[in-house]
Structure 1
Amino acid sequence: MNAPIIKLGLRSLFGRPRVIALLALPLLLIAVSGLRHVASSDPIDTAEAGDLLGTLGIGIVLPIVTLVATSTLISSEFDDGSIIYLLTKPVSRLGVVMSKASVVLLAVVGLVVLPMMIAALVLVGTRDNLWLSAGAGTLVSGAAYVGIFAVLATFLKRSIVGCLLYWLLWELTLSGLIPAIKWTSAQAWGASVLTQLADLEFALKVPTWFAALAGVVCLVGGVFAAGRRLASTTISEV
């Protein structure tokens, strides 16, 4: 990885107006959890809390934050042509992608994983270790999304549209209609880890080991594929 690229990535990610979206969604998640806790006269059931976190946190907040971060650090550089600067420098193309992906993953941890843990604590406290389960599930899905979006950002011309279509069609629509697709769904992997670690019921339980392995494979494989794609990209193609 390249330290200067990481520093530039952090500055680019948190120095633009779109950082408002990155901060607003996690705060909204915590706020909704707080309102749900206050509105209930009886203690909230762990299963209900897990369903809220899985649906809102892993299902919506996580992919949007990851998409915004990826579009800021990778997609926008192809769109505005600034990637040409990196292509003319004697730096490893794989190192460039690894550096940018690490910044996106860091943003996912700070802006989604930690807020998910806080939201779980707000909802049910430390009961059934839901806060740890929520953090682990979000991290698994987040790692997968980083790898998937990195590939789409480097292989597609209109990468933001491609990422949105992938999320809306595959993750939100088809995975809900066809149970077998959950085995290849980043959202389902995280939700399965969350529910199994907290000993909750889930419609289709993808084994925790499989979900964790799939998340790592998507992250590593996605970054490697994106790096190979960037290495084969010429200035004339940008």
Structure 2
Amino acid sequence: MNLTVVRLTVRGLLGRRRGVLLLVVPVLLLIIAVAAGASHGDKHELAVQLLGTLGLGTLVPILGLVVGTGVIATEIDDGSIVYLLSKPLPRRQIVTSKLAVAVLTGWLFAAVPVLLAGLIIYGTGDGVALGYFVGTLVASAAYSALFLLLGTVTRNAVVVGLAYALIWESLIGNFVSGARTLSIQQWGLSVARAVAAPGGITAHVALGAAVPLLVLVSLGAVLLAAHRLAGLTLAGEE
């Protein structure tokens, strides 16, 4: 990891309108959590619905898309990536530095709010808040890696990312059981279920499949993104 690349990436990511966008959904999540915590309904069911649907199902992929593409796609589009590619830096180091920024940003703006929302609604009961927190950590990292890769291979990374998150995961994944196996959201839920107390969280993918897939997608995305950057330099596209 290169600290100069990290600093430039943080400045570019948080210095634009994305910095405001990153706050919108987390704040909304916490506001709803406060309202739900003050209600008299089934707190466990409220926590599962809010953290699973709005948190892991909406906040995490959207935030992953914003930061994952934001750390590199914009630089490729406006040509400023040339500055980094002209330096004697290994392409993998550039990618891992940018991914570190994306992952840490996702943890700060997604995982922490999910944990706080869970504690507000249900406290530490059944390990639900902790389970969703850990599930959000791993899912956020995988989303960031995948969407960073998309930012290097297509100028329509946001559109492709939204199609994956909204159509594949949220629509097809909810009705076609086989599609759930290729869903980062379901992998995160599997990890969350393993951390929570038995019966606290429901998931449709076995932990033995979810963990290897999370690792495979994350590492594969890093290697492919580094290869793509090397290709841009060699081909003189930027």
Instruction: Classify the TM-score, shorter chain.
Output: over 0.9
Q: Percent identity?
A: 36
Q: What is the TM-score with the length of structure 2 in the denominator? A: 0.92
What does residue 107 of structure 2 align with? Answer: 109
* Cα pair 2:60 2:136 within 8 Å, conserved: yes
* Cα pair 1:143 1:216 within 8 Å, conserved: no
* Cα pair 1:140 1:211 within 8 Å, conserved: no
* Cα pair 1:143 1:218 within 8 Å, conserved: no
* Cα pair 2:61 2:165 within 8 Å, conserved: yes
Q: Please state how far the C-alpha of 1:163 moved relative to its aligned partner.
A: 1.5
Structure 1 residues 159-193: Cα deviation after superposition (integer angstroms, max 9, x where no partner): 22221222222122221121111111001111232
Q: Which moved more, 1:219-228 or 1:165-174?
A: 165-174
* Cα pair 1:22 1:65 within 8 Å, conserved: yes
Q: Please state how far the C-alpha of 1:51 moved relative to its aligned partner.
A: 2.4
After the TM superposition, which residues 17-96 of structure 1 pair with which residues of structure 2 at under 5 Å, given as runs? 17-38=17-38, 40-42=39-41, 44-96=42-94
5+ long unaligned stretches in structure 2 = none
Pick from 172, 175, 200 the counterpart of residue 173 of structure 2. 175
Q: Which moved more, 1:194-203 or 1:74-83?
A: 194-203
Matched position secondary structure for 2:155: coil
Once residues 140 and 11 of structure 1 are traced to their aligned partners in structure 2, the CA distance between those partners, rounded to angstroms, is 25
Q: Give the 4+ runs in structure 1 shifted more than 6 A.
A: none
Structure 1 residues 129-154: Cα deviation after superposition (integer angstroms, max 9, x where no partner): 11210111111211221121122111
Q: Please state how far the C-alpha of 1:215 moved relative to its aligned partner.
A: 1.6
Q: What is the TM-score with the length of structure 1 in the denominator? A: 0.92
What does residue 145 of structure 1 align with? Answer: 143
Q: Please state how far the C-alpha of 1:227 moved relative to its aligned partner.
A: 0.6
Once residues 61 and 145 of structure 1 are traced to their aligned partners in structure 2, the CA distance between those partners, rounded to angstroms, is 11
Once residues 77 and 15 of structure 2 are traced to their aligned partners in structure 1, the CA distance between those partners, rounded to angstroms, is 19
The letter for the 1-side match of 2:34 is: G
What does residue 12 of structure 1 align with? Answer: 12
What does residue 226 of structure 2 align with? Answer: 227
1:3 aligns with 2:28: no
Q: Please state how far the C-alpha of 1:54 moved relative to its aligned partner.
A: 0.8
Once residues 158 and 53 of structure 2 are traced to their aligned partners in structure 1, the CA distance between those partners, rounded to angstroms, is 22
Matched position secondary structure for 1:59: helix
* Cα pair 1:144 1:214 within 8 Å, conserved: no
Once residues 207 and 45 of structure 2 are traced to their aligned partners in structure 1, the CA distance between those partners, rounded to angstroms, is 18
* Cα pair 1:49 1:124 within 8 Å, conserved: yes
The letter for the 2-side match of 1:87 is: L
Matched position secondary structure for 1:41: coil
Matched position secondary structure for 1:237: coil
The letter for the 2-side match of 1:211 is: A
Q: Please state how far the C-alpha of 1:194 moved relative to its aligned partner.
A: 2.2
Q: Which moved more, 1:195-204 or 1:149-158?
A: 195-204
CA spacing shift, 1:207–1:47, aligned 2, 3 Å: farther
5+ long unaligned stretches in structure 1 = none
What does residue 205 of structure 2 align with? Answer: 206
Q: How many residue pairs are counted as aligned between the two chains?
A: 236
* CA RMSD across the alignment: 1.8
